Amino acid sequence: EGLLSKQKRSRRMKANDRERNRMHHLNSALDALRSVLPTFPDDAKLTKIETLRFAHNYIWALTQSLRLA
């Protein structure tokens, strides 16, 4: 039973580490996306969902500009 408990704890620690790394990569990608979106310097940092929505709308607006040109 002690060995099973250690195995479970080890698996849980590995899963936590993978999730931590996944979130780190996601946050890095969102920071990179924020850096290329046009915002005012004094604006507060956009949330994750705000960043994605803004990027979507910005890409849509750029696409419409190209279609009209």
Main-chain phi, psi angles of 33, to 5 degrees: -65, -45
- Is-above-0.95 flag for pTM? no
Structural tokens at position 69: 């040109």
Model pLDDT for residues 16-61, shown as the tens digit of each residue: 999 999 999 999 999 999 999 998 776 788 999 999 999 999 999 9
Q: Which domain holds residue 57?
A: 1-68
Helix H segments across 37-47? none
User: For position 45, what pLDDT does the model report?
Assistant: 86
* C-beta separation of 51 from 34 below 8 A: yes
Compute the chain's Rg from CA coordinates: 20
CATH number, domain containing residue 12: 4.10.280
**33 Cβ contact list (under 8 Å, min separation 6):** 51, 55
Q: Domains in the chain: how many in total?
A: 1
Is the confidence at residue 1, as pLDDT, over 80?
no
Averaged over 2-25, what is the pLDDT? 95
- Is residue 3 very low, low, confident or very high in pLDDT (cuts 50, 70, 90)? confident
Is the confidence at residue 11, as pLDDT, over 80?
yes
